Amino acid sequence: MGRRPFCFFRSHVMPTAERVIKKYANRRLYDTKGSRHVTLEDLRKLILQGEQVKVIDDKSGEDVTRSTLLQIVAEQEHFGKPILSAQLLHSIVRFYGTSMEELTGQYLEKSIEHLLRQQETLRAQIAKVMSAVPMTDLLDVARQNMEVWGELQKQMFASFKPQRTSNDDGEPPKS
């Protein structure tokens, strides 16, 4: 049994059970666990929640998970905020058909796993620091900062008020 992949959006590894999705000839997707038709966007959301999906062609029984995931990536690159530059995509295309093809896939997979582990380590370190500082202390500091800021604003705006040098009758203003 292989290692379970890390999930960027959870503080633990993803479950090993795969959610089976059937893909019909009309390109509709059916979630067998949820007993409903789903869209690529629905699949993306399931994956973001930590689900592992396996997409099976209903007629042939062929595993079409990779091509479905590539469709999700393509939609995100087109409609969302792209993370794959044209230069990177050109480089990936150039690896196909070379002796480095298999090694490239393994390298990319290990690199992403390493990136996810670093992300998880950073998240754990931040959580540790945040738990060491009680929230009431943070709220006290924030309140004090707001009070100081308010006083600074009062002083700043007071300096812009025009000073009256005399009353209408020529006498100096009374304090």
Q: Quick one: tokens of 39?
A: 């869209």
Q: Tens digits of per-residue pLDDT, 76-99?
A: 999 988 999 999 999 999 999 999
Which of these, 13, 49, 14, 12, lies nearest to 31 by C-alpha position?
A: 49
Q: Quick one: tokens of 101?
A: 């093809």
Q: How many C-beta atoms lie closer than 10 Å to residue 53's C-beta?
A: 20
| CA 149/CA 128 separation, integer angstroms | 30
**Mean of pLDDT values over 64-83:** 95
| CA 45/CA 73 separation, integer angstroms | 13
141: pLDDT strictly greater than 90: no
* CB-side neighbour CA atoms (13 Å) of 7: 16
| CA 79/CA 99 separation, integer angstroms | 34
Q: Tens digits of per-residue pLDDT, 93-117?
A: 999 999 999 999 999 999 999 999 9
**Mean of pLDDT values over 47-76:** 96
Straight-line distance from the first to the last Cα atom of the chain, in angstroms, rounded to the nearest whole number: 86
Q: Quick one: tokens of 157?
A: 């705006």
Percent of the chain with pLDDT over 90: 60
Phi, psi values for residue 137, rounded to 5°: -65, -40
